[in-house]
Each structure stands twice: as structure tokens, then as C-alpha cells.
Amino acid sequence: MQTRVIQMEDGKENGILIRSVKSKPFPAKLLLILGLFLAFALTVFVISVSTIKYTGLQSVVTTVTSGFVTCREDEPNSLSKWIQPPAVLMHNMSDEELLWRASFWPRRKEYPFQRVPKVAFMFLTKGPLPLALLWERFLKGHKGLYSVYVHPHPSFTAKFPATSVFHQRQIPSQVAEWGRMTMCDAEKRLLANALLDISNEWFVLVSESCIPLFNFTTIYSYLSRSKHSFMGAFDDPGPFGRGRYNHNMEPEVPITKWRKGSQWFEINRELAATIVKDTLYYPKFKEFCRPACYVDEHYFPTMLTIEKPMALANRSLTWVDWSRGGPHPATFGRSDITEKFFEKILDGKNCIYNGRNTSMCYLFARKFAPSALESLLHIAPKILGY
Ligand SMILES: *[C@@H]1O[C@H](CO)[C@@H](O)[C@H](O)[C@H]1NC(C)=O
Ligand SMILES: *[C@@H]1O[C@H](CO)[C@@H](O)[C@H](O)[C@H]1NC(C)=O
Ligand SMILES: *[C@@H]1O[C@H](CO)[C@@H](O)[C@H](O)[C@H]1NC(C)=O
Ligand SMILES: *[C@@H]1O[C@H](CO)[C@@H](O)[C@H](O)[C@H]1NC(C)=O
């Protein structure tokens, strides 16, 4: 009701404006007609006021505004335009335009509508999603609490049935290369598109080889109750940490704030906006962190350590196995998927959650080969709870 009343007042103001602008050059006859019209309007107004007295405000407001309801969809300033997520994810905005648009930021703490915060799952992929069926099962029954975004290689077009959670969730994409700024650009593109939905509150970056380790309810409550965002960020004094630092990045990026971390993060809306709005650190990293400085391991952890250190848990929620050595982590296939394997992941460590010790350190795991799908679907209800 409140929005309707506001719209009605807007309409009135427009009318007055037009009238006062046009009235000057009018001939006398028209002025007379105008005068008669004003008298008529005044009469209607007086009658309305007395009607309000006798029949109550409610009914009059409804009658008067009903004429405006038909225009609501075209109303450029209606609140719904700001609340409704874009119906179509594909758009023609350049990255520059998108980042600008996504950096709009409400300054008031309270939302003037019922906002149910959602988890945005952002899939950074090469192409197909071989584990899609597992994710479908994980998300089933939780509509309204999540949204899905897919950034594949630009030559790839995903085809999912209308019933799928991945149906038409592809965003405009560009080539992303490991260890290069184009990878951070892709992650920023995912964040920016997801920020366009005002209800997205937590932003989880995953790949096509990631799986959830718990049911949706558990993951939602872990994220929503956390006081911190989960971005891996540590100070590595060795050649693969501080050794990659370039002093040309000073003074914006001092070496004491130089951090390293896995690219798979979970951040809240405030941090997502901080990343999307950044124009200060970006040029420094783009110019001075090139292979063998792998920018996707340093840019976000370092800039957030400078900008919002207290908001960071400094650990990632995504389990990965580097124990086999080499430049790539282990990939697990059909024969690896056993109860023992998951026991090791789910109960192997101790970490801090909201200042307390917990053994629940990871909510997601990678990397899983397409061949693992069947075994995962089989084991998920018993071990992973979905
Ligand atoms: C993008 O622009 C092209 C032509 O300029 C147009 O055909 C297409 O419909 C536009 N797509 C969207 C999503 O607006
Ligand atoms: C999710 O998992 C938790 C913990 O394992 C369990 O208590 C809860 O019932 C599960 N929720 C659903 C909806 O299956
Ligand atoms: C994460 O690291 C920053 C500094 O790098 C620190 O200020 C912050 O307290 C750390 N977060 C936690 C949860 O310890
Ligand atoms: C967490 O556990 C370790 C021992 O594993 C203990 O030293 C530490 O004090 C605990 N921290 C908190 C916050 O309880």
C-alpha cells in the first residue's frame, strides 16, 4: 500500500510541473477553460476529503490509485525494479559497465522489504558440468535460498532442461587463464552478476569438479551464522609467497600485507562489493604480479587483508589434496569414493569458527572427475546428508 501512495504522489507532481510550464503562452479562452478545470478539480478534492472522513482512508486510496496500477510495470522508479533479480542473465554490458552497475550499494542498514538472504553458487568452469546431477540433488527443495551462476569458456553454451537449477544461468563470459588476471576478471564478472540480485548475501566460488560435503541446510546455517568470510589468506615467507612480491606495488600494497590463498572462496556481500569496486589495487596487481607470480592466488587475499582484515577467517572452505605433489592437486575418480575417504576429509582437522574450535573445517571439496558422479550419487545420502 505504501509504494502505491508514493507513486500516486509522484504522478501528481509531474502533472503540476507540466501545467505550470505550458500555461504562459496560452490564450485567454484556454485560460478560462483551465480555470474551470481547476475549479472542478478543487470540488473533486473537497468531496474526496469529506469522503475520506466518512468512509475511511483505505477505500479512497484504493480507488484513486487503481488507475496507476496498470502503469506499474513501466514505472521506472518503482521499488520492485531494484528488488527483482534480472529475469535474463545474459546482457550486453561490457565488464566496465557491469562493474560500475554492480558497485551500487545501499547505504541504509535496513531493507524496506522482506529480504530472504540467498547463497550465490558461482561456477567457474571450462564448459560442461559433469557433476550437475549431484548439485541438483543438493539444491532440491531449497528454492528461494540460493541462486546459480555459470561462467564457462565463451565458446561454450550450456544446455540444461527447464527443470534444472542450471537452466539459463550462464552469464556473459570471456577466456580465463590460470595464474593470470583474466582469471580474476572472470571471478569479478561472476561476483558482479551475482551482486545484481539484491538478495544474494553469500558468494561461493566453485568449479565443475567441486562437490558439497553437507546438506544444504547445514551449509546455509554455517555460512549465515559465521562472523567471518572464508578467504584463504596466509603470509608465506618463502619463495612462493613473499618471493613473488614486487616492490613496485608500494605504497598501496606493502609486503607486510602480502597474502596468498587458494582461489576458492566464500565471501559476504560487503566483501563482494569491495572487490567489485576496486580500482586502486587492480592496476598494481595487473602490472606487477605476472607469472611466476600467480595473481589469482594473491590479488583478493591481499586486497581484502588491507581493506577488511577483521572480516576474514583467513581459511578456505574448500578441501583439496596437494599431498601428491606437483603443480595440480589430486583428482578423484570412481574407485576413490569410499566412506573412509570422506571420513578423512570430514574429521581430519581442527579449525576456528566464530572464535571456537571445530572439526567442521570444509563445506566443499575438489577435485572430482566425471567418473566419480555415479559413486557420489550413491554415497551422498548416507555420508553427505543429501
Ligand atoms: C545484445 O545486442 C544484440 C545486438 O546488438 C541483440 O540482438 C541482443 O538481443 C542483445 N542481447 C541482450 C541480452 O540484450
Ligand atoms: C541436514 O544434515 C543435518 C546434520 O547432518 C541433519 O540434522 C538435518 O536433518 C539434515 N537436514 C535435511 C533437510 O536433510
Ligand atoms: C585474519 O587475518 C587478519 C590479518 O591478516 C587479522 O586481522 C584477522 O583477525 C584474521 N582473522 C581471524 C579470524 O583470525
Ligand atoms: C582449540 O584447541 C587447542 C588444542 O587443540 C587449544 O590449545 C586452544 O586453546 C583451543 N582454542 C579455543 C579458542 O578453544
Residue of the CA atom closest to atom 6 of ligand 1:
92
Query: What φ, ψ does residue 203 adopt, rounded to 5°?
Result: -120, 115
pLDDT along the chain (386 residues), means of 10: 34 34 52 67 56 45 41 66 90 97 92 95 97 98 98 94 96 96 98 97 98 98 98 96 96 97 96 98 97 96 98 97 88 96 88 96 97 97 96
Q: What is the pLDDT of residue 55?
A: 45
Q: What is the pLDDT of residue 49?
A: 47
CA of 93 to the centre of ligand 1 (A): 10
16 within ligand 3 shell (Cβ under 6 A): no
Q: What is the pLDDT of residue 15?
A: 33
Q: What is the pLDDT of residue 325?
A: 84
Domains along the sequence of the chain with CATH: 2-74 (no CATH), 91-310 (3.90.550)
Residue of the CA atom closest to atom 2 of ligand 4:
357
229 within ligand 3 shell (Cβ under 6 A): no
Q: Identify which of 138, 149, 172, 167 has the alpha carbon closest to the alpha carbon of residue 386.
A: 138
CA of 313 to the centre of ligand 3 (A): 6
Residue of the CA atom closest to atom 3 of ligand 2:
218
Q: Give the C-alpha distances (Å, rounded to integers) separating 201 from 168, 271, 310, 363.
A: 21, 10, 18, 17
Q: What is the position in ligand 4's atom list of the atom closest to the CA of 352?
A: 13
Residue of the CA atom closest to atom 12 of ligand 3:
313
Answer whether the bond into residue 367 is a cis peptide, omega within 30°: yes
Q: Which ligand is nearest to the CA of 90?
A: 1
Cα separation, 297 vs 187, in Å, equals 12
CA of 360 to the centre of ligand 4 (A): 14
CA of 220 to the centre of ligand 2 (A): 11
Residue of the CA atom closest to atom 4 of ligand 3:
309
Residue of the CA atom closest to atom 4 of ligand 1:
92
Q: Which three cell numbers stand for residue 187?
A: 571471478
Q: What is the pLDDT of residue 332?
A: 97
**pTM: predicted TM-score of the whole model, two decimal places:** 0.81
CA of 194 to the centre of ligand 1 (A): 20
Q: What is the pLDDT of residue 80?
A: 86
